[in-house]
Structure 1
C-alpha cells in the first residue's frame, strides 16, 4: 500500500470504529482468527476491486470532464442538474446494481464541482439514497433482491411487480425532498475551468476491459477478470492502479469480520431463533433494525434461514438500506468516494428521516395492499 493510502487509513474514523467493535466482540465470542478469512465475501471484494480500477481509469481518461461540461450546459439551474443526477443514479441502479451505479455517477458528480458551484456532498448523499430506492425495484438491482428472488420462485416481472409500489413511493418521496433540498438558482460557472483534455485511447481501453470483466463475472471467474484488468492498466496507465482507494477494501473486510463475530453473540442467536414466531410488525422491525447494524445483505441471508422470502421481508430489508451508514454497503461506497469528512455525519441528517418515513409509510402501504 502506498504512503498516501496508509495516511488515509490512519485518518479513517469509520475504519477505526470497525476495529474497536471487532476487538470488543472478540471478548464475547470464541477467539478464532483462523476462521476470519472465510467470513469475508471475497466475491464482493474482488468485484469491488475491478470496478474501482475501471472507474479510476475512466476518471483519469478525462471522459467525465467532457461529459460534465455537456451536462452543465444542458441544465441551467442547480435543481434541474441535481434532479437529473439523482434520478439517473436510481435508474442505473435498477439494472446495473446499486454499487455499479454509484461508480458511474459519483465520479461524474465530483467532476461537476470543477465546472460550477454545486453542493457536491449533498448531491452525493442524495445519489446514495437514490440507488437504495431505485435498486429495490428489480431482482437484479441489489444483492439482497438477488437472494430473495432466487428463493421466491417468482418471475422477473412478478418480483418487480411486488416491489413496484414501494419503489414508486420512495422515488416520489426522494424527488419531492430533492426539489426542496436544491434551489432553482442558476448555476455559477467557474471561469477558470480549463478545457477538457481527455485520452480516447484510455477510455476505449477501459471499455474493453469492462466487457472482459463482465464476461469474467458471468463465468464466475472474477479473480481472473480482476487480474486481467489490473494487467491491462499496468501496461496502459500505471497511475490508475496507484490512485485507486485500496483502503476501501480493508474497510469492507473489517465489516465482514465484525458481522461474523456479531452473529455469534449468544443473545443475538437467541433472538434469531425466535424470528419465525414473530408477528408481522415484529418481523418488520427486526428486519429493518438488523439491517442497520450488519447491513441489509447479511441481514437477508440470516433471516431467510428462519422466515420465507415474502414481499414483506423484501420490503423491510430494502428499507433497512436507509438510516445508519452500515445499512447498505452502497452508502459506504458513495461516502468513501466523496473523500470528505463532513459528509459522514451530514449523510445521517437525510438518511435517518428517510428511514423513519420509509418504515412507517412502507408498513402502512403493505397493509393497504393486503386488505
Structure 2
C-alpha cells in the first residue's frame, strides 16, 4: 500500500500517465520504444543509493563538515561543495534530499536570525551542476550516455569544461552568505555508525551499476544479482525505491514513441534539431517548460547531435522550478521548514537561476563552437 500511495501522490507521474493514456488512444502505444537498459540502470542505481541512505554515509560526511564549520558562510560553502561532489555519484535528488534538511535544521537553530534562502538555492544549484559531470549523476545523462553510446572520454570532453566555472561561481556566491559565528549542538548532528559489511556489499553493487551504465558490464543478470544482494542486507531498500519515477520514465518513452507516429509533430521536432546549435538552444529552452529529463527523451530520437543535446539539457536544469525535478524537490523541502517565506525563495531562486542559465548558456555555446 505505501508504494501505491506514492503513485497516487506523485503529481508528475499522474500527469504523464494521463498523457500516455491519451497518446496511446490516438496513435497507439509503441512499447518497443522503451529503453529497458536505461530503466534497469535507474532501478539498480536507485536501489543502491537507497541502501547508502540507510547506512547514513552522506549524513556522516555532512555532520563532520558541520561540526568543523566555524561560521555560517563556511558551513554553507562546505555543504554546497559536498552537494556538488556527492551529486556526481549519488545523483542530484539524493544530494538535495539528504543535505538540505541538515542545513536548514542548523540554520533554523541559530540564535541570531540568518536567512536560509541563498544557501538553500546554492545547495540545489550545486547538486544540479555536480550531477552533470558523471554519466550516472542524473537520469538524462544515463539515458543520453546509453542512447548515443558515448565513451567515458567523449562524455567528459563535453561536460568537464563546466567543472572549474561551476566551482568558481559557487565559491563566489557563497561569499554573500553571512559570516556570523556558528556553534553546532552535537545532538543536532548525531548519526548512527554504518555497518562495515553492509557498506562493502553496497559499494560493490554500486560499482556493478556504474560498470553497467558505462557499458563495461553488459549482462542484466549481474545487475539483478546485485539488486538481490541489497535485498538480503536491507529489506527496506526495494520498498523505498522511487517506482513512480521509473513508471514516469516508461511513460516518457511511450509518449515519444507515439509522437513519432504523428507526421506533423515529427516534422516540427526535426526542424528544432536540424543543426548543432539549434539542438543546443531547443534542448535548453524545452527543459524550462517540461524538465530536462523528458526533453532529452523527446529530442534524442530526432537528432544526431548528441553533444549539444547533452550539454543543453544539463545546462537547462537551471532556470525554472520545473527545469529539473531536483529543483522541485528542493523547493518542497524548503517549504516544509520555512513555509512563510517560500514565495520569497521562489523569487530569488528564479533570479539567480536565470542569471546562471544565461552565463552557462554562453559557456556551453563557446564549448560547442
Mark yes or no: TM-score above 0.5.
yes
Alignment correspondent of 1:67 = 61
- Work out the CA distance in 1 between the residues paired with 2:33 and 2:46: 22
Report how many residues are paired. 348
Alignment correspondent of 1:240 = 237
Contact 1:92 1:101 in 2 (8 A): yes
Q: Which of residues 101, 105, 123 in structure 1 aligns to 2:95? A: 105
Query: Is residue 2:49 matched to residue 1:55?
Result: yes
**Cα deviations across residues 69-99 of structure 1 (Å, max 9, x unaligned)?**
31211123333233223333434556x4xxx
**Cα deviations across residues 285-334 of structure 1 (Å, max 9, x unaligned)?**
323223443635325524533xx556x6664343223234664xxx3367
Alignment correspondent of 1:12 = 10
3-state SS of 1:116 partner: helix
Query: Is residue 2:259 matched to residue 1:269?
Result: no
Contact 1:19 1:254 in 2 (8 A): yes
CA drift of 1:183 comes to 3.6
Alignment correspondent of 1:208 = 204
- Work out the CA distance in 1 between the residues paired with 2:207 and 2:365: 44
**Cα deviations across residues 138-182 of structure 1 (Å, max 9, x unaligned)?**
78873477479867x99659935x862x554454444444544x5
Residues 220-299 of structure 1: matches in 2 within 5 Å?
A: 220-221=218-219, 223-275=220-272, 284-292=280-288, 293=290, 295=292, 296-298=295-297
Contact 1:102 1:127 in 2 (8 A): no
CA drift of 1:47 comes to 1.7
Q: Which of residues 308, 316, 325 in structure 2 aligns to 1:332? A: 325
Q: Relative to 1, partners in 2 of residues 1:323 and 1:140: Cα closer, same or farther, differing over 3 Å? A: same
Contact 2:270 2:303 in 1 (8 A): no
Q: Which of residues 77, 92, 96 in structure 1 aligns to 2:71? A: 77
Q: Which of residues 179, 196, 206 in structure 2 aligns to 1:184? A: 179
- Work out the CA distance in 1 between the residues paired with 2:351 and 2:41: 32
- Work out the CA distance in 1 between the residues paired with 2:87 and 2:81: 10
**Cα deviations across residues 332-370 of structure 1 (Å, max 9, x unaligned)?**
367559974948x97965665456435543555577789
CA drift of 1:228 comes to 1.9
Structure 1 gaps, min length 5? none
- Work out the CA distance in 1 between the residues paired with 2:260 and 2:347: 29
TM-score, normalising length: structure 1: 0.71
CA drift of 1:15 comes to 1.9
- Work out the CA distance in 2 between the residues paired with 1:121 and 1:6: 34
CA drift of 1:206 comes to 1.6
- Work out the CA distance in 2 between the residues paired with 1:211 and 1:90: 20
Q: Relative to 1, partners in 2 of residues 1:233 and 1:257: Cα closer, same or farther, differing over 3 Å? A: same
Over aligned residue pairs, what C-alpha RMSD do you find? 4.4
